[in-house]
Amino acid sequence: MSAQRALFSDDKRRSRIGEAILAIEKGQPFTTQELLAQDLGSRDAIDQTLSRLVRRGDLRRLARGLYYRPKHHPALGELIPDTNLIAQAAARKTGSKLLASGAQSANRLGLTTQVPAKAVFYTDGRSRRLKLGHEIIDLRHVSPRRMSAAETGAGPIIEALRTLGPEHATESIGAALAKQLDDRTKDDLIEHLHEAPEWMKPLLRKVISSNR
């Protein structure tokens, strides 16, 4: 038995909790609720196991009820989890929707080469800030209307164009979008077109009609 697995052999229940944690990929954030949902034991038993592993350095605590198993690189040392994964786990913890900010969405869609200095996500949950080393992740509460397309392909596109603004959301930007969008995403845009600002709708209609 490895030294790490020996950590969880104190009793049968604690072993079940430990084995569930070991099954989670390193660098993948997870929540206490996700362990509770597996019926591994009581909340106290899970909390005690998590606290013990944090003290030993086998787990890192991102925030209350939010953890990850550290992942190491031979040259770079310990790697910080991807900010998107952290934000997604934080949203799962509260049952909230999540939408990358317009600056992040524009960069991911290839509409700008500018990399956002800070990771910002919109949510229908409460605003909060997560800090991991020098990395800061802001979760910002916005209106339910703005979050209505969050879990569709339309949400990031509308936010990206909103950030670019009418002066920079040009025909060439629309053409670049049209080349990479599949029919399902275009269907999402049709469904949520009414939520876009008026100035954006003509461009989105051209994107939707392209190659259909």
Taking only the tens place, the pLDDT of each residue in 133-192 is 778 899 999 999 999 999 999 999 999 999 999 999 999 999 999 999 999 999 999 999
What is the spatial distance between Cα 205 and Cα 189, in angstroms, rounded to a whole number?
Answer: 9
Provide the whole-model pTM.
Answer: 0.81
State the average pLDDT over residues 80-86.
91
Contacting residues for 33 by C-beta, under 8 A, at least 6 apart: 65, 92, 93
Question: What is the rounded average pLDDT for all residues in the chain?
Answer: 90
CATH number at 24 reads 1.10.10.10
Are 79 and 73 a contacting pair, CB within 8 Å? yes
pLDDT digits (tens, 9 = 90+) for 44-76: 999 999 999 999 999 999 989 999 999 999 999
Higher-confidence residue of 212 and 106: namely 106
Residue 1 CA, distance from chain mean position: 35
Task: Answer yes or no: do 112 and 193 share one domain.
Answer: yes
Q: Give the total residue count for the chain.
A: 212
Could you give the number of structural domains in the chain?
Answer: 2
Pairing of strands 119-123, 135-141: parallel
**Residue 80 is assigned to a structural domain of this protein:** no
